[in-house]
Structure 1
Amino acid sequence: MSFLPGAVAGAVARLGDPKIGKHLLREEGEVVVDEVTHHWFAYTRPALESGLALVLLVGSWFVPVQVAWFLIIVAAALLLHAGWGALGVLRDRFVITNMRVFRVHGVLSQSLATMPLSRILDISVKKPLHGRLLGFGHFCFESAAQEQGLRDIRYVGRPDERDLSIQRVVQRAGLRGPRVPN
């Protein structure tokens, strides 16, 4: 956010903060191990929409006034949609604590999906070709429950490190069998 002026950067930071601290069980000793924001690639759709809006705005200078107003309205709608999408990506957080993993997302209404570490049976890390090149992947959590709100976490930066972080927390919590020496 360093490219934004100070007041704008502060406003974006306040709007983009989902306030995960209020979801922690501090009195039980829960601490955040990792707070995962989306990789920059998740912002490509809003960026492309903003670019198209800019093209429409510049194009409105070179057409008759009867057409220009329509282009400006479409550009404004695209900018609003892009801003809403970017804010949605900014407010989507995946949090790993010493007791559970949870995801907080939503702009006007906020959703929270939680899974205790003991319920995590398997974590699949999917890295498409462009994700491998750019350094992101997608998590797929498998648990004993068939339907859960914490199944797919997309556009996770440094997915291998994050997977190892979760595995370490699960191991330290003693939820997997003891390590067998070689």
Structure 2
Amino acid sequence: MLASWLDPHVDQYLLRDQGEYVVREVHKHWAASVLAWARLVVAVPVVVSAFAYVGPVRWVLLVAGLALGGQALFRVLDEYRDRFVITNMRVFRVHGTFSTQRASVPLGRILDITVKKPLLGRLLNYGHFVFESAAQVQGISEIRFVADIDGRDVLLQDTMQRAGLRATAPAQDDGT
């Protein structure tokens, strides 16, 4: 039951009657939740150490540890449920822990894709997509902490090419 709740079930959002299928479902890179995991690791000893005290100190440590741990656990779950999906027709993002939010952009409306790889992203193999579409206000503008960003970019460009959304230049004859 818990595993079912943790999965955002992206297949339910597909337009199956129009032939839409998932090309790739992308989970966030582990670096997106490393600070939340660190807070959770700190919260456990704080809660455990609270029982070594009596009186108000115990309650302050217990409440602080539980608050820190609860916030960290919420953040870990939030990052885990955040999915970026590439289909043969569009890209969409599903995210949220208690309530679910969904935004999509048809492949044909994507004008420009920027890949940002910060230094740490270059070392750990992640990056961020920035989409520019024909609309002024768009559902998806930035997808952060995409694992294997270069591979995902090639896959996205290939999917757009296969959909006939990118022009192909003819091969040049080099005269030899």
Q: When the two structures are superposed, what TM-score results if normalisation uses the length of structure 1?
A: 0.89
Deviations 1:49-95 (A, max 9, x none): 11221231243255444302210111111111111111111111100
Q: Does 1:119 align with 2:109?
A: yes
Q: Does 1:94 align with 2:84?
A: yes
The partner residue of 1:136 within 119, 126, 135 is 126
Overall identity of the aligned pairs, in %: 48
The partner residue of 1:38 within 28, 35, 39 is 28
Q: Give, in angstroms, the shift of residue 138 of structure 1.
A: 0.6
**Unmatched tracts of structure 2, length 5 or more:** none
Write out the 4+ residue segments of structure 1 that deviate beyond 4 Å after TM superposition: 61-64
The partner residue of 1:76 within 66, 71, 94 is 66
Structure number with greater Rg is 2
Distance 1:20 1:59 in 2: 41
Corresponding position of 1:110: 100
AA matched with 1:132:
R
When the two chains are superposed, the root-mean-square deviation of aligned CA atoms in Å is 1.5
Corresponding position of 2:49: 59
Q: In the comparison of the two structures, how many residue pairs are matched?
A: 172
